[in-house]
Structure 1
Amino acid sequence: MTAGLAATLALTGCEKRPDDIPVDVSVIGPARLTADPRRGPMPVGARVLRDSVAQGLVRFDAAGGIEPGLAERWIVIDDGRSIIFRLKEATWSDGRAVVAADVVRQLKRALGTGSRNTLLPYLTAIDEIVAMTPQVIEVRLSRPRPDLLKLFAQPELGITAPGGGEGSGPFRIAEASASSVLLRPLVDPADGDDDQPNRPKPQDLVRLRAERASVAILRFSQRRSDLVEGGSFLDWPLVGLSEVPAANIRLDTPAGLFGLLVARRDGFLSTRDNRSAIALAIDRALVTAAFSDAWAPTDTILPEALDSASPPAQPDWSSVPDSERLAMAQARVVTYRRTNPDPLVLRVALPSGPGATLLYGQIANALSQLGVGTERVPLDDGTAHLRLLDRVAPYDSARWYLRASCQPCALPIARLIADIRLAPDVATRARMLAQADSALTADVAYIPLARPLRWSLVATRLRQWTPNARAFHPLNRLRSDPK
């Protein structure tokens, strides 16, 4: 056997991690696995851990759909103004039974005064949450909200035990260190018998850690982990530089927003025509192709009609041929410069990371063709003219897209978007959403580029991993079929 062939066989033999060891998962982000959603946004690692040990009334399955969590079933009554959940039999980590009063108390705290839960602005239709019996909860609404279950499935509404700590699973923390936690799945005693109790196998355990993208990618390429989650456009260039096989690289293009907010509406950006000039100058297909051919560009705020009465509003320049867009944008800049001869420089706020550097290069090159200079500033810089918005939608309502894109926008449009939550019925809400989408698109308060790009590195043993519209992959839906 030649040395070359021996090396090839050795490499082939190492391509798969053993299937009888815990699943090792790296989540890209701050090395902080615990956080209280009532105190503000949660890092990705904290969201994954909370989803694993403190499920909500419902939760996401592998495909991003809704499956039972603490509630084993639910019904919607009173023309969509009431949802009744029946809790399954479950216990907290100390062995106490889960009862409706515990769940109601925690949901009220999450929605109460002083809470900074990021989902709070989208839960205003909830009038009251009551424990009807020890096993039954009713959520009463002031108006129908058919998308509410997707919000209840978010980790931010996961239920922990009274006094804090873990919740009802589907995992419990078996070990914890400064860098990782080992998760042990809960087992149903009914699945075993007295002589052969059902105990988790080593491969049913999950080792979870949060770390930098470069470290996570290296760990995976060295076959020391099975899954890397939480990747975005920011660190995507690092994947291309790695030795990870293409078969292990998975993309999510989830529902959400990826584009530029017009953060300041003064000077050049004070008019709609000038804001449109920026939108016209940026070649979206060129931007996305710089990252991946699988990343599709878009020029609309809404991905589809969703709960709006109309299809997504098209910008007034969408019918202009690509070959004529740059000339149209240049003409608008020339008109502006006739009365404003000073150098025109726009500050573009972006996060740090190689992907942001690549994106900035695309934006700066596009605007330079207009004679517009650019300066890159941090994402939180208050002087920025344009600010990147990169967010996955937590649920499927047009109002989320419109509210997130109106930061800021014209005051009458902002009021219309705010009033949508008070619509008395679904039909009225749909008409208001369509009106707001059309007005916001015409206002050019937000310049769409694409939908968010999310990526994962997935070992072949994780056969149940599935790309989905939430870009969220529960740890109990990775390796084996659901029981």
Structure 2
Amino acid sequence: MTRLLFLGALLLTLTACDRGADERPVAVDAIEQNGTGNTERVLLRSALAQGLVRFDAAGQVEPAIAARWNMVDDGRSYIFRLGDATWSDGRPVTADQVVAALRRTVRVEAGHRLSPFLRSIDEIVAMTPQVIEVRLKRPNTELLTLLAQPELAVMRGAQGSGPMRRLAGEGVRLRAPVDPDAPAPVPADEVRLNGMRAALAVARFREKRSDLVLGGAFADWPIVAAAGLRPADIRVDPARGLFGFAMVGRYGFLAAPLNRAAVAMAIQTANLTAAIDANWAGADTVLPEAFDSGSDPASPPWRNLTEAQRWQTARAQVAAWGQPVTVRVALPDGPGATLLWGRTAAALARIGVRGQRVGMDAPADLALVDRVAPYDSARWYLATACRGCAPDAMMLIAAARDATTLPERAQRLAAADAALAADVAFVAVARPWRWSLVVPRLRGFQTNPRGVHPLNHLRGDTR
């Protein structure tokens, strides 16, 4: 009986500890990328300001300022009906305010990462005080996903409309607006956001000083692998996007497509991702799937060669050059990038090429591209991979952008994909590696292909 009483008391203590843990504010550490703090800024902007639509925990589009919408005219027009959104000062959001803000944001001169992909927008007009129409020059079935991005969040001066509000006090403290008809907020409804280096963020999580680490990428993954964390606390997103090398230096040895192919064959055959994690699958095409292209992803010409044939062909191509070959490879900082460089340099040396590692801002011949796709279109992949590619490939990508019908767009995208592969303009290695550290009480957290994790969707309860 004494033993049973002891076990019962122990269980009550553990339960109380678990419940107490869920009563604390949620501490979120955002990893700074190369010291820029951009992850923290994006999370904060997404919490304080929203667009017509926004992302949920699964990376799907959900209502935000707009309560509902319709796509009409085969994707040439979107009609949005506003809900009851308010600015941070409590005043209602009006259609005219939203239109003015969006017009500023979608201008080419805005200069953010999505500017080149918003050129299909023709007009944004307020039809009534509560209805907005976005008119397009060409069909765009992915417009909602673009409008959910942080860059398209609607601001009025320094004010946003949520989904969270900033609380007074030290540091960045956030909470959803208090609904008078809902239960009173509890400490766990509050999110405290910090930005820091990956090593410190991982150490804080291990010491149970934070509940969530966001913004992890391949360059810092070895820190996680060495930290001895519980596997259940480590989440890796099935991110869609590009991870590979753009051929940005096209002179000397790399001026000829066959020579670029020799370097590309070596890199793709070297299984670079295994240097980071055995579970990181490789890729050999720019497009992960067809998306809106009219054909399957274009494969590299050497796909059907055996591994031995690839190495032999690449070595012979370098030897035929008859001169020493040096290739400068631009990589970010971080232990994961160093591991990747070690395997890349070994692969280049194996075919007779001397590799030289340089920083991301330095002149280079190959530059790492590591980006999650903001929306699912072949055009984003092709335009992002085409950094200094051949003029015919660039023209085909531009032609796809200007296509007036979806079938015409699909045909042009397929042609651009094939041209990019023939030009050997990009060496696909994998899809982006994105990771987070998550405590069990954040039941609302979900991995997703967008790699987005809104701070208002962490607890997964009905508060």
- Shorter-chain TM-score tier: over 0.9
| 8 Å CA contact retained: 1:32, 1:46 | no
Letter in 1 for 2:379: R
RMSD: 1.8
Give the secondary structure class of the aligned counterpart of 1:74.
Answer: strand
Is 2:350 the counterpart of 1:362?
Answer: no
Give the secondary structure class of the aligned counterpart of 1:114.
Answer: helix
Give the secondary structure class of the aligned counterpart of 1:477.
Answer: coil
C-alpha displacement at 1:461, in angstroms? 0.5
| 8 Å CA contact retained: 2:245, 2:369 | yes
Tell me the TM-score normalized by structure 2.
0.94
Structure 1 gaps, min length 5 = 1-8, 34-42, 193-197
| 8 Å CA contact retained: 1:344, 1:373 | yes
Give the secondary structure class of the aligned counterpart of 2:219.
Answer: coil
Structure 2 partner of 1:331: 316
Structure 2 partner of 1:168: 161
Question: Cα 1:285–1:20, aligned 2, differ >3 Å: closer, same or farther?
Answer: farther
Match of 1:393 among 373, 379, 395: 373
C-alpha displacement at 1:458, in angstroms? 0.6
| 8 Å CA contact retained: 2:50, 2:162 | yes
Letter in 2 for 1:364: A
Letter in 2 for 1:175: A
| 8 Å CA contact retained: 1:16, 1:460 | no
Match of 1:464 among 427, 444, 450: 444
Match of 1:21 among 24, 29, 41: 24
| 8 Å CA contact retained: 1:253, 1:295 | no
Structure 1 partner of 2:454: 474
Aligned partners of 2:69, 2:36: CA distance in 1, in Å?
34
| 8 Å CA contact retained: 1:20, 1:202 | yes
| 8 Å CA contact retained: 2:219, 2:334 | yes
Match of 2:111 among 116, 129, 132: 116
Give the secondary structure class of the aligned counterpart of 1:299.
Answer: coil
Structure 2 partner of 1:449: 429
Give the secondary structure class of the aligned counterpart of 1:278.
Answer: helix
Is 2:266 the counterpart of 1:263?
Answer: no
Structure 2 partner of 1:39: none
Aligned partners of 2:272, 2:462: CA distance in 1, in Å?
39
Question: Cα 1:278–1:145, aligned 2, differ >3 Å: closer, same or farther?
Answer: same
C-alpha displacement at 1:283, in angstroms? 4.5
Task: List aligned pairs for 1:158-307, cutoff 5 A.
Answer: 158-160=153-155, 162=156, 164-175=157-168, 177=170, 180-189=171-180, 191-192=181-182, 198-283=183-268, 286-307=271-292
Q: Deviations over 1:292-346 (max 9, x none)?
A: 1221100000000000011101111001112321111111111112xxx3x2111
Q: Deviations over 1:57-77 (max 9, x none)?
A: 111111111110110000011
Structure 1 partner of 2:125: 130
Give the secondary structure class of the aligned counterpart of 1:373.
Answer: strand
Aligned partners of 1:210, 1:25: CA distance in 2, in Å?
9
C-alpha displacement at 1:113, in angstroms? 5.5
Give the secondary structure class of the aligned counterpart of 1:73.
Answer: strand
Aligned partners of 2:445, 2:339: CA distance in 1, in Å?
29
Aligned partners of 1:112, 1:262: CA distance in 2, in Å?
29
Letter in 1 for 2:123: E
Aligned partners of 1:165, 1:243: CA distance in 2, in Å?
42
Aligned partners of 1:380, 1:49: CA distance in 2, in Å?
27
Structure 2 gaps, min length 5 = 1-9
C-alpha displacement at 1:175, in angstroms? 3.1
Structure 2 partner of 1:350: 331
C-alpha displacement at 1:188, in angstroms? 3.3
| 8 Å CA contact retained: 2:291, 2:376 | yes
Aligned partners of 2:251, 2:86: CA distance in 1, in Å?
57
Paired residue total? 449
Compare 244-253 and 227-236 and name the one that shifted more.
244-253
Structure 2 partner of 1:3: none
Give the secondary structure class of the aligned counterpart of 2:344.
Answer: helix
C-alpha displacement at 1:170, in angstroms? 1.1
Question: Cα 1:121–1:83, aligned 2, differ >3 Å: closer, same or farther?
Answer: same
Task: List aligned pairs for 1:402-421, cutoff 5 A.
Answer: 402-421=382-401
Tell me the TM-score normalized by structure 1.
0.90
Aligned partners of 2:317, 2:58: CA distance in 1, in Å?
46
Match of 1:52 among 43, 47, 52: 47
Q: Deviations over 1:210-257 (max 9, x none)?
A: 111011101100001110000000100111121321211111131100
Percent identical? 52
Aligned partners of 1:89, 1:415: CA distance in 2, in Å?
45
| 8 Å CA contact retained: 1:91, 1:168 | yes
| 8 Å CA contact retained: 2:253, 2:321 | yes
Letter in 2 for 1:289: A
C-alpha displacement at 1:122, in angstroms? 0.3
Letter in 2 for 1:22: P
| 8 Å CA contact retained: 1:260, 1:387 | yes
C-alpha displacement at 1:169, in angstroms? 0.9
Structure 1 partner of 2:101: 106
Aligned partners of 2:149, 2:169: CA distance in 1, in Å?
24
Compare 49-58 and 13-22 and name the one that shifted more.
13-22
Give the secondary structure class of the aligned counterpart of 1:49.
Answer: helix
Give the secondary structure class of the aligned counterpart of 1:235.
Answer: helix
Q: Deviations over 1:2-44 (max 9, x none)?
A: xxxxxxx9xx9789980101111011016777xxxxxxxxx12
Match of 2:411 among 426, 431, 443: 431
